[in-house]
Amino acid sequence: MMSSTNFIALKSILHKEVHRFMRIWVQTLVPPAITISLYFVIFGSLIGSRIGQMGGFDYMSFIVPGLIMMSVITNSYSNVASSFFSAKWQRNVEEMLVAPVPNWVIVAGYVGGGMSRGILVGCIVTLIALFFTDIQIHNIWVILLTVSLTSAVFALGGLINAVFAGSFDDISIIPTFVLTPLTYLGGVFYSISLLPPFWQGVSQINPIVYMVNAFRYGFLGISDVELSTAFTVLGIFIIGLWATAMYLIKKGIGLRS
Amino acid sequence: MTPALEIKDLQKIYKGDFHALKGISLSVEQGDFFALLGPNGAGKSTTIGVITSLVNKTSGTVKVFGHDIDKALETAKSFIGLVPQEFNFNQFESLTRILVNQAGYYGVERNIAHKRAEKYLKQLDLWEKRDTPARMLSGGMKRRLMIARALMHEPKVLILDEPTAGVDIELRRSMWEFLRELNAEGITIILTTHYLEEAEMLCRNIAIIDNGQIVENTSMKQLLATLDIETFILDLPANSIQATLNDFSYRQIDDHTLEVDVKKTQGLNSVFAQLSEQGVQVLSMRNKSNRLEELFVRLVANKEPAA
Ligand SMILES: Nc1ncnc2c1ncn2[C@@H]1O[C@H](COP(=O)(O)OP(=O)(O)OP(=O)(O)O)[C@@H](O)[C@H]1O
Ligand SMILES: [Mg+2]
């Protein structure tokens, strides 16, 4: 049972985090909306019409879930990475460290903030998508569960990144060199089944493949992977990353000398 | 009564083998107004860092109102309000948000926190700035903001690391007044300072730390009593004659400045009497340096380890 002190502390961190990205909405909410609109225009409308069908759906409908997922992933990650790093940089992270806030509340608060931004941007992108195509929903619960778990995974990733980061450059390295490639190769733009067998095998070690496909299943009812496998992968990542984040904060890595 | 703060044999070795604290022991009684004094790099902030869990200690124990930070860290933390040496708030947030969030970390409900924020912002003369981003405050205002922040959860002990650094005289006095009132309300106050007169003005007990070690830990009164010589600088008219003073050690610095060492038992009357006998006029007079500073220099020099 959570004590009321911890509950209020958690609410405060969440409140602070949500207020942060809302305050700087021009930097946090507008760019993903523009980027994803461009994807819709270029891949969906211009090129998509020539590609024809993918997985039994027109190309635009096929990529919409993947593009929503892509924006959820980048935004939940970068929200926590920038926010926590800047709290370290400005040293206001000490406000939490001196207070009787348990580590799990700190982790949960930041992750909750990252999830909020990821999911909010996901909603914005979904609205934009409605200008380009109709969106059907096959199973809303799969959609909600996948988006929540995925945003949690990447919010945790962003937190761990920020803990180790020593400069602002360090929080853009992982998104540029790891997240973006994994996302592009994660079945956002194509069905894995189109790949030669070898590359299909390689794709199976890319966790984003599972997230994108589970999410797409929620909308279209099609998936390149088993749903149960996808949720197992998500679960394992959340547990592993949560444990890592807790360990790092407890040790005070990058926080206490 | 349990001490507000009890430190035993505290050691801190920073990464790279720097021995910043070499076995500090201290006890601060509840309700005390305590000064931790020492030169740059003595280990004051490190000590405070360990107490507030911003620095991992190497060994030793710290108890806050009897709660060991190794065993009951969260309880210990809840008693402490910290005003750190460096600004450490989010520069982009408004004052009110900074205060209300901080209260939240201690479990204070938002509506109560808003009332408290108003109270302290008004008391510390920051109310007008409540919606301003913190980075737009002046240095003195930022200090006061950190004091307000430290009080939001109504701590029992307030620890201030050089709260008046970079604060003008007038503001410093009003801060002193504010701290005295807090102390009168029963809050234990521990402060570090470089303004030695500050410790003398405010504090009842004092520890002097140098090079990671406590070199003196006593009451202010006793400390001042051991200081029996005071040096005065007398300003004389230009081209004054060489004066002679019996029973005093003195130095004629130039033709219009005289320095005199006066023992507590001697008093100043005799200095003036002798000078007027010789027809030397005294235009003005001031202390050569802070008494505490002299004392400090002496203490540290005496206890300097041989190596
Ligand atoms: N994070 C750190 N890593 C390594 N050494 C440190 C660290 N922080 C402080 N030190 C060293 O420890 C010693 C004590 O520093 P500390 O900040 O406690 O001094 P201080 O008494 O607060 O000085 P000041 O009056 O200048 O604030 C200094 O020599 C300092 O260089
Ligand atoms: Mg210091």
Question: Which of B54, B75, B103 is opposite residue A98, by nearest beta carbon?
Answer: B54
Is residue B295 a part of any domain in this protein?
Answer: no
Same domain, B220 and B233: no
Query: Within this chain, do residues B216 and B248 fall inside the same structural domain, yes or no?
Result: no
Out of B225, B258, B278, a domain closes at B225
Tell me whether residue A257 is in a domain: no
Residue B143: closest CA among B124, B158, B156: B124
Q: Are residues B102 and B249 in the same domain?
A: no
B242: contact with A, CB 8 A cutoff: no
Whichever domain contains B14, its CATH number is 3.40.50.300
Out of B19, B37, B45, give the residue to mutate to test ligand 1, the one with the largest number of ligand atoms within 8 Å of its CB. Answer: B45
* Beta-carbon count within 10 A of B111 CB: 8
Three-state DSSP string of chain A: CCCHHHHHHHHHHHHHHHHHHHHCHHHHCHHHHHHHHHHHHHHHHHHHHHHCEECCEEHHHHHHHHHHHHHHHHHHHHHHHHHHHHHHHCCCHHHHHCCCCCHHHHHHHHHHHHHHHHHHHHHHHHHHHCCCCCCCCCCHHHHHHHHHHHHHHHHHHHHHHHHHCCCCCHHHHHHHHHHHHHHHCCCCCCCHHHCCHHHHHHHCCCHHHHHHHHHHHHHHCCCCCCHHHHHHHHHHHHHHHHHHHHHHHHHCCCCCC
Q: What is the structure's pLDDT at A112?
A: 98
CA geometry: angle A77, A82, A84, nearest 5 deg: 95
Last residue of a domain, one of B170, B199, B225: B225
ipTM: 0.89
Asked if the Cβ–Cβ distance from A4 to B53 is below 8 Å, we say no
| Ligand 2 centroid from CA B82, angstroms | 13
Q: Is the pLDDT of residue A40 over 90?
A: no
Residues near ion ligand 2 (Cβ under 5 Å): B 44-45, 85
CB A211 within 8 A of CB A150: yes
Check residue B262 and give its pLDDT. 85
Tell me if residue B277 falls in helix, strand or coil.
helix
The total number of structural domains that make up chain A? 1
**Contacts with A257 from chain B: Cβ below 8 Å:** 14-15, 49, 54-56
List of chain B residues with pLDDT < 50: 305-307
Please report, for the domain that includes residue B255, its CATH number. Answer: 3.30.70.1560
Judge whether B298 lies within some domain: no
Place of tokens 């910290």: B82
Taking only the tens place, the pLDDT of each residue in B266-278 is 888 888 889 888 8
The answer to whether residues B221 and B233 belong to one domain is: no
Same domain, B44 and B154: yes
* A15 domain residue, yes or no: yes
Question: What's the domain range around A239?
Answer: 4-251
Q: Does residue A256 lie within any of the structural domains?
A: no
The answer to whether A223 touches A133, Cβ cutoff 8 Å, is: no
- Shared-domain flag, residues B161 and B273: no
Residues B271, B177, single domain; the answer is: no
Give tens-digit pLDDT for B211-265: 999 988 988 888 777 777 778 888 988 877 888 888 888 888 888 888 888 887 8
Are B173 and B38 in a shared domain? yes
Same domain as B162, residue B248: no
Partner residue opposite A92 with nearest CB, options B55, B89, B100: B89
CB B43 near ligand 1, within 6 Å: yes
Asked if A98's CB is within 8 angstroms of B77's CB, the reply is yes
Please check whether residue B69 lies inside any domain of the structure.
Answer: yes
In a domain, B296, yes or no: no
Residue A12 within a domain: yes
| Rg, Å, chain A Cα set | 19
Instruction: Please tell me if residue A250 touches chain B, with a CB cutoff of 8 Å.
Output: no
Same domain, residue pair B88 and B153: yes
Give the contacts of A12 (CB within 8 A, at least 6 positions apart). A109, B100, B101, B103, B104, B105
The answer to whether residues B82 and B18 belong to one domain is yes
The structure tokens listed for B248 are: 């005093």
Alpha-carbon distances of A157 from A79, A178, A224, rounded to whole Å? 11, 11, 25
pTM attached to this predicted model:
0.87
Q: What is the pLDDT of residue B306?
A: 40
- Residue B166 is encoded by which pair of tokens? 């970079």
**Ligand 1: which residue has its CA nearest to atom 19?**
B41
* Res B192: pLDDT: 94
User: A124 falls in which pLDDT band (50, 70, 90)?
Assistant: very high
Minimal Cβ distance to A98: which of B52, B97, B108:
B52
| Cβ of residue B38 lying under 6 Å from some atom of ligand 1 | yes
Same domain, B104 and B144: yes
Domain, as residue range, for B95: 5-225
